[in-house]
Amino acid sequence: MDIKTLLLALALGNLSLCAALFFFEYERKQTLSLSTWAVAKQCQAGAWLLLYLRGTLPDLLSIGAGNALLFAGLALDAAALWELAGRPIWRRYLAPALAVAVAVFLGAYLAELDKSFRAAAGSLIVAGFFLAGVLALALRWRDGTMLRRFLVVTMLLLSLAVAARGMLSVLQPDGWGWVSGGMIQWLGLAVLYLMMLTNAFGYLLLTRESLQGELARLETVDTVTDVPNRRGFYQALTPWMALARRPGMPTALIVLNLDHFKRVNDSYGHPVGDTVLKTMVDVCKKQLRDSDLMGRLGGAEFAIQLPRTSLQDALMVAERIRNAVASHPVKTERAVINLTASLGVTTIRAEDSTVSLFKRADEALQQAKLAGRNRVVEASAESPLEA
Ligand SMILES: Nc1nc2c(ncn2[C@@H]2O[C@H](COP(=O)(O)OP(=O)(O)OP(=O)(O)O)[C@@H](O)[C@H]2O)c(=O)[nH]1
CATH number, residue 350: 3.30.70.270
Asked whether residue 79 is assigned to any structural domain, the reply reads: yes
Same domain membership, residue 279 and residue 195: no
Query: Residues 115-126: pLDDT tens digits?
Result: 778 888 999 999
Distance 380 CA to ligand 1 centre (A): 26
pLDDT at residue 385 in the model: 40
Distance 274 CA to ligand 1 centre (A): 10
Upper half-sphere CA count for residue 153 (Cβ side, 13 Å)? 6
Band the pLDDT of 1: cuts 50, 70, 90: low
- Tell me, yes or no, whether 198 and 236 share the same domain: no
Pick the range with the lowest mean pLDDT from 92-96, 129-133, 199-203.
92-96
Q: What span, in angstroms and rounded, lies between the C-alpha atoms of 5 and 221?
A: 51
145 domain residue, yes or no = yes
- Report the domain count for the chain: 2
Same domain? 206 vs 287: no
Q: Are 328 and 221 in contact (CB under 8 A)?
A: no
Per-residue model confidence (pLDDT) at position 335: 86
Of 156, 188, 219, which residue sits at a domain end? 219
Does residue 383 fall inside a structural domain?
A: no
**Within its chain, how far is the Cα of 301 from the centroid?**
29
**Across residues 238-244, what is the average pLDDT?**
90
Distance between alpha carbon 49 and the CA centroid of its chain, in Å? Answer: 34
Residues 6+ apart with CB under 8 A from 69: 43, 44, 46, 47, 50
The Cα–Cα gap between 323 and 305 comes to: 19
In CATH, what number is assigned to the domain containing residue 118? Answer: 1.20.1070
Give the start-end residues of each E strand in the chain: 175-176, 179-180, 252-258, 293-298, 301-306, 330-331, 336-337, 341-347, 376-378
Quick check: CB of 223 below 6 Å from ligand 1? no
| Sign for the pseudo-dihedral over CA of 25, 31, 37, 43 | positive
**Residue finishing a domain among 219, 248, 273:** 219
Q: Please tell me the predicted confidence (pLDDT) of residue 304.
A: 98
Q: Based on the domain organization, do 58 and 198 belong to the same domain?
A: yes
Q: pLDDT for 62-110, tens place per residue?
A: 999 999 999 999 999 999 999 988 888 777 788 899 999 999 998 888 8
Domain membership of residue 387 (yes or no) is no
Query: For residue 384, is it within any domain?
Result: no
Give a yes or no: residue 125 inside a domain: yes
Pick from 256, 253, 257, 220: nearest CA to 353:
253
225 part of a folded domain: no
Taking the C-alpha atoms of residue 350 and residue 311, their distance in angstroms, rounded to an integer, is 15
Determine, yes or no, domain membership for 385.
Answer: no
Residue 92: domain span:
3-219
Last residue of a domain, one of 192, 219, 246: 219
Same domain membership, residue 104 and residue 49: yes
144 with 256, same domain: the answer is no
Atom 27 of ligand 1, residue of closest alpha carbon: 262
Looking at residue 87, what is its pLDDT?
A: 86
Testing ligand 1's pocket by substitution, the residue of 261, 272, 281 carrying the most ligand atoms inside 8 A of its CB is: 261
Q: Give Cβ neighbours of residue 367 (< 8 Å, ≥ 6 apart).
A: 344, 377
Closest residue by CA, ligand 1 atom 13? 262
Give helix then strand counts, H and E, for the chain.
13, 9
The best mutation among 227, 230, 256, 262 to test binding of ligand 1, ranked by most ligand atoms within 8 Å of the C-beta, falls on: 262
How many other CB atoms sit within 10 Å of the CB of residue 8?
A: 17
